[in-house]
Structure 1
Amino acid sequence: MTRDLKAALLIPLALLALAWLQEGIDQLLFRGQWNLPMLPGGPALGILTAPFSHGGWGHLLANSGLFLPLSWLVCFKSKWDYLAVWAAVLFTAIPVWLWWPNGAHGLSGVVYGLLGYLLLIGWLERRPLTMLLSLAVLLIYGGILPSLLPFFTPAGVSWIGHASGFAGGLLAAAAVSRSRP
């Protein structure tokens, strides 16, 4: 296995392991009370810790099932693109942290960022394989797009976290497509 392929497989697994470790410590030692969300008026560190904090095993499991395949698709394309998605998602979380009245946490913001990136990158690059990837992602994962809107999102789920993550993914796709010849 090549070094690049190994990194593309391991980077998302390592990030997901951090979320599972945090949830394990939270559940075993703190009975589900040690969450690290992004809170309005809370410390800026919450922007960095929120993706790794979840509201229980079910929340983490649901996010994990989407996070890994979408992460691998972006990582197989480029580790730098994967980093760009993460950076853009964290960047677009700043206004939510500053002005949104509710806290948020979980990997779903990153999941929607990965989805936004994958949906747009093919159309920006206009390469057949990348366009096929965007179309396949739309067909497979398009069913979660309605939860970008508040009236399709269950109470207690941060639709704004999904929407800001999605916007971050779109920004990342635009940025990386412009940086390539």
Structure 2
Amino acid sequence: MPESLGQRLDRNLARLGTNLLIPPLLLVIPWAQELIDQLLFGGHWNLPMTPRGPIWGVLTAPFSHSGFGHLLANSLMFLPLSWLVLAKSRRDYIAVWLGVYVTAIPIWLFWPTASHGLSGVVYGLLGYLLLIGWLEKRPLSLLLSVLCLVSYGGVLPSLIPLFSPAGVSWIGHTSGFAGGLLAAWAVQRGAEPAGGSGR
């Protein structure tokens, strides 16, 4: 029996509600970690990605921060960018996270300093949103990319060491951004019909 318009609307609203909840629920993890760190460990319990350290550091680094100021700054960008990606689909959102983790692995293996923070994921979300419109060439996707460029383009210079403040892991930002670009490319490739254009 075909799904009625009301049923389809209910399903879409339920999915929208769930999508709105996903980013705040994810933020519970770093906020809980930072709260425990500050209350019980005096700010010394961090879970960074250390050079050739335990592989779990790659997984935990986005949820570890150097203080509430660091975490708040990342959270304020993480929420809107997450919601914009989730407006396309959960699959795309998962792809960004996977892309960020994949591009973090070379940094973990070869970069000489530790890093942590949600900013790598933030830049991954931004990289995805900036590229996906140009790959899909659909009006809404293009509008989304232009909107993100206008709204968040001012943070792009921090991908370059010269313009990155002291103590900020520009390489973490850059690898995260590359992960977002990789995710956009993978999502677009996956959406292409079998056989493609033959190119």
Q: TM-score with structure 1 length normalisation?
A: 0.98
Secondary structure, in 3 states, of the residue corresponding to 1:33?
Answer: coil
2:159 partner amino acid: L
Identity of paired residues, percent? 69
Which of the numbers 179, 185, 197 marks the counterpart of 1:174?
185
Partner of 1:47: 58
1:104 counterpart = 2:115 = yes
Q: Runs (4+) of structure 1 moved beyond 2 Å?
A: none
The answer to which of 30-39 and 6-15 deviates more is 6-15
What one-letter code is carried by the residue in structure 2 that aligns with 1:32?
G
Residue type of the alignment partner of 2:134? W
Report the number of matched residues. Answer: 181
Query: What pairs with 1:10-89 in structure 2 (closer than 5 Å)?
Result: 10-89=21-100
Letter in 1 for 2:165: P
Q: Report Cα offsets for 1:68-104 as digits up to 9, x if no partner.
A: 0000000111100000000010010000000000000
- Counterpart of 1:6 in structure 2 is 17
- Residue 180 (structure 1) shift: 1.1
Q: Which amino acid aligns with 1:74?
A: V
1:91 aligns with 2:102: yes
What whole-Å deviation, never above 9, does each CA across 1:32-66 have from its counterpart, x for those lacking one?
A: 00000000021000000000000000000000010
| Cα offsets for 1:144-163 (capped at 9, x unmatched) | 00000101011111000000
Question: Which blocks of at least 5 consecutive residues in structure 2 are unaligned?
Answer: 1-9, 193-199
In the superposition, the TM-score normalised over structure 2's length comes to 0.89
Instruction: Give the superposed CA RMSD.
Output: 0.8
Structure 1: which amino acid aligns with 2:18?
A: A
**Letter of the structure 2 residue corresponding to residue 92 of structure 1:** T
* SS across alignment from 1:179: helix
Q: Distance in 2 between matches of 1:47 and 1:79?
A: 22
Which of 125, 128, 137 is the aligned partner of 2:136? 125
111-120 or 2-11, which deviates more = 2-11
SS of residue matched to 2:191: coil
Aligned to 2:169: 158
Structure 1: where are the runs of 5+ without partners? none
Question: In terms of Rg, which structure is larger?
Answer: 2
* Structure 2 Cα separation of the partners of residues 12 and 56 of structure 1: 20
